[in-house]
Amino acid sequence: MTSKTPRTAEKPAAEPASYEDALAELEQLVQAMEGSSLPLDRLLDSYRRGAQLLEYCRGRLQAVEQQVKVLEQGQLKPLQDA
């Protein structure tokens, strides 16, 4: 039972280089998990990594949304009459 302790104590996975990289990795994890080809421990690790990637993606989307709001207030006008 103690042999599993180092597995859960692994160093955290690196942050993705970009939103697109995170999304691609997340898609790969989902495919592997849906295929049921992973042992239970790897399935749990994949779920944890997926949760990290999802949090990263949400954070990036919120940051971009905030930047768009700032631009809309400062310079951009909606194209409603187009």
Is-contact 16 57, C-beta < 8 A?
A: no
Confidence of residue 78 (pLDDT cuts 50, 70, 90): low
pLDDT value at 42 more than 50? yes
Query: Nearest Cα to 29, choosing from 1, 6, 57?
Result: 57
pLDDT value at 59 more than 90? yes
pTM over 0.85: no
Alpha carbon distance 58, 12 (integer Å): 19
User: Average pLDDT for residues 32-50, to the nearest whole number?
Assistant: 88
pLDDT at 70: 81
Q: For 9-39, how does the pLDDT look when each residue is reduced to its tens digit (9 = 90+)?
A: 455 678 999 999 999 999 999 998 888 777 8
Alpha carbon distance 29, 19 (integer Å): 15
